[in-house]
Chains A and B, each alone.
Chain A
Amino acid sequence: MTPELVILGLVVVTALAFDFTNGFHDTGNAMATSIATGALRPKVAVALSASLNLVGAFLSVEVALTVTNAVIKIQDSDGAPRPEFLADGGEALLVIVLAGLVGGILWNLATWLLGLPSSSSHALFGGLVGATIAGLGFNGVNWAGDGTKLDGVVGKVILPALLSPVIAIAVAAVGTWLIHRITEGVAERYRESGFRWGQIGSASLVSLAHGTNDAQKTMGVITLALLASGEWSDTTSIPLWVKVSCAVAIALGTYLGGWRIIRTLGKGLVEISSPQGMAAESSSAAVILTSSHLGFALSTTHVATGSILGTGVGKKGAEVRWGVAGRMALAWLVTLPMAAVVGAIAWYAADLVGGLPGAVVVFVVLVAASGAMYVRSRREPVDHDNVNADWDGMPTQAKV
């Protein structure tokens, strides 16, 4: 087994690990409101969301090979790795991708530990940007595209992040207001039970859309690594095993459920009722589907969070915890730079040690850091038992 092949193996495993964190980081986007209102029992909700993510991942037959082109310049426009990276079995490219993935994973885990929803795609992009700056310099980053379409760090990351919450808040607030106006005079119990169905339906749609959008990104990254090391040569399709493993990884992650994040979204921002839950998920589903249809891709996380805030804004007398929202906004602002810093450090570390040992060191550090954060999370566990406990920061102990 050549060293390059081992590095490739590490990249593939790390990419699948990222996909897994992507899954549990985003369960809450679709299911937090249904869990908070009791429309679905927590375990049922994550199982439903996981199956729909699995289905969604297989539905995305379209090749997402050019995913890194949005922010960095290591691929041609048809998805093939640039020729200058093909020396040494593509090692230069593989190390950049590995370091980028490490940045994305560690930022995802850190925000999960804090119970903050933050965009997994922004974490991935941030990691890749950092690793690229470290490895290739500032010119290796696609900052603003070539001006012919929405592109680059500015066009694909910063502007959508600023605009998506605004759009989602507006849509969800209008929806919530309309729903409450229309159903005035309907008995509370009757209304709650009716809207549960709408809530489950709209949440399912969000899950499906998530599977089609997000699993593709990891599939693209793994296939890029395979292309760079010469293990795959077709830029118009993705190997079946890549598709299957990515779909399974994101579904397993979703099933695990990022309970800390689900709790923040479902209980921390707004006390949610079924009509609000339906308004929030409908708004998320409509905005996500519309935006990806129009080629103006928005982060699922930003849209879902905005929608939940919007239902608080649109309902008279509802309390919105703006302090929690502020912490989230802060997390969003620093997602790209922080993941970039971690990605850059990972690249320097790999470069310092050099070659295969460098990649192995980075991988071992990733495993150790992830393990440490997991152990830390067990001190104040949040799971399906205490996810809906009253909001006073983090719950102290699970009720038995």
Chain B
Amino acid sequence: MENIGFALEGAWQVLLIGLLLGAGLPAVFALGIRSLAYGAGGAAETVDAGHAPPHPVGRLGAAVCFAVVLAGVALGITIVVASGFGKEVSFDHVVPSLVDK
């Protein structure tokens, strides 16, 4: 029953990376939305009942958050496409790079 060992090992890794990307990136996206609302002010926020002034810095924060999310998605697509062409994305040097399988 070596299979159970292999499966648990795989499951553990998938859970960890899944949490990082599958819950982490949406959280960053949510931060972007929060920041955008802060930037827009007015009726976008429920606090101060529609009288909050706009904060331009909020838009900047939102842009950064959305950029991080887009980078994550781009990485995901690269992994899919690369594996189709017999390559894989390596994280050996922290920065993702394409290598042959």
Contact = CB atoms under 8 A, between A and B. Distances in A.
Contact size range, A: 35 or more
Binding site of B, secondary structure by majority: helix, strand, loop or mixed? helix
25 contacts: A147-B2, A149-B6, A150-B10, A154-B3, A163-B11, A175-B26, A178-B27, A179-B30, A183-B33, A185-B46, A185-B47, A187-B44, A187-B45, A188-B46, A190-B37, A191-B33, A191-B37, A194-B32, A202-B26, A212-B80, A275-B30, A278-B26, A287-B18, A293-B88, A293-B89
B3 A171 contact: no
A331 interface: no
B14 A298 contact: yes
A324 B4 CA distance: 29
B36 A194 contact: yes
B83 A62 contact: yes
Nearest to B33: A194
Interface string A262-301: 0000000000000100110011111101111111101000
B79 to A, nearest CB: 6
Contacts of A167: 11, 14-15, 18
A346 interface: no
Interface string B28-60: 011111101100100111110000000000000
Given A145-B3, A186-B46, A190-B37, A290 B85 contact: no
Given A159-B4, A175-B22, A198-B26, A286 B34 contact: no
Nearest to B22: A286
B86 A62 contact: yes
A198 B18 contact: no
